[in-house]
Amino acid sequence: MNHVDLLTAILLNAFPFLCVAAVWCLKFFEHQLPTRQQEMLEKCVQMAVSMAEQVYDQSGPLEKKQFALRAAIDLFQAFHLPIPQPGVLNTALEAAVFALNQTRRNGSPYVDQATRVNPVVQAASAQLQAGLR
């Protein structure tokens, strides 16, 4: 077997492993891109704030912030992403809480939908009461 055949055999056998390594490297470096990091920061922080608001509803704002901060860091670690600097994470948390509070002030679609249902229920109960008289 000459050198060319040996090199060809090695490359053919190593090709699947090289493809897997290339895909892994692309995914790894994709998470290092600034736009991808910003997107993941927004998603992770939004999930963490929502969780803290729901699970720790009776806690104070500082406790909720600590829970949300810990949850956001845990999400970054779970996805093997670099954890943002504390100032960046704090800014993202505050922005997510502000957006959540703005949404609450403007009214929830669930509340609006429930108020639309109430007149129908009231009219039905009024008809039922009129039928009983």
pLDDT attached to residue 73 = 92
Q: Report domain extents, the chain.
A: 41-103
pTM, to two decimals: 0.55
pLDDT in 10s for each residue of the chain, 133 residues: 677 888 888 878 887 887 788 888 777 766 665 677 788 888 999 999 998 888 888 888 888 889 999 999 999 899 888 888 888 888 898 888 888 888 877 755 554 444 444 444 444 444 445 555 5
Contact 92, 84 (CB under 8 A): yes
pLDDT attached to residue 83 = 86
C-alpha count within 13 angstroms, C-beta hemisphere, residue 51: 16
CA dihedral angle for residue 93, residue 99, residue 101, residue 105, rounded to 10 degrees? 180
CA distance 60 to 53: 10
